[in-house]
Amino acid sequence: MKYTPEIADTICERVAACEAVHQFAGTDGLPSESAIYDWLNKYPEFAEKYTRARERQADRMVAECREIADTDKEKMGAVERDRLRVMVRQWGAERMAPKKYGARLKQEVSGPNDGPIEIADASRKLLDMLDRRAPSGTVG
């Protein structure tokens, strides 16, 4: 099947609507799953649209989590099922858009007295330390 921007748009709309590529690929006049993934490598404009579609998909999943969590009291009998559904959507959103929905980790490194680390100084100190530990008679 030949790539067209219209087919690319259709694929991206279906992805954004939370449809899995493997479920719709090869149906409704769309290319096979392998062709879609080949197009992602071959056509940068399609890869960009697809990336935006995946972000929209993650946004939709997060919205669905809120809908599930905000259930009416009469639906309380299905709490465990809803909890699982929320966890699955949250997990999916974290993996599809980690910068937006993933856990935030912050790591800081500082030198003496919370000052900056001089890379050259750190390398020199490491080499000096290794030289002191080297057995005598070894060539350095």
Angle between helices 44-69 and 5-16 (to 10 degrees): 20
Measured CA to CA, the distance from residue 120 to residue 112 in angstroms comes to 15
Note the pLDDT of residue 136. Answer: 59
Q: Cite the DSSP H helix spans in 70-118.
A: 79-96, 98-101
Note the pLDDT of residue 125. Answer: 76
Q: Is residue 71 part of a domain?
A: yes
Residue 64 CA to its chain's centroid (Å) = 19
Note the pLDDT of residue 76. Answer: 58
pTM: 0.59
Give me 136's structure tokens: 């005598």
Q: Is residue 122 part of a domain?
A: no
Note the pLDDT of residue 114. Answer: 75
Note the pLDDT of residue 90. Answer: 86
SS3 content of the chain, % helix, strand, coil (to 5): 70, 0, 30
Block means of pLDDT (10 residues each) for the chain, 140 residues, are 96 96 95 97 97 93 79 66 80 83 73 71 75 64
| CATH number reported for the structural domain that contains residue 91 in this entry | 1.10.10.60
Q: Is residue 51 part of a domain?
A: yes
Q: Is residue 65 part of a domain?
A: yes
Look at the chain and report how many structural domains it folds into: 1
Give the HSE-up count for residue 140: Cα atoms under 13 Å, Cβ half-sphere: 11
Q: Is residue 136 part of a domain?
A: no
Q: Domain of residue 91: give its range.
A: 5-101
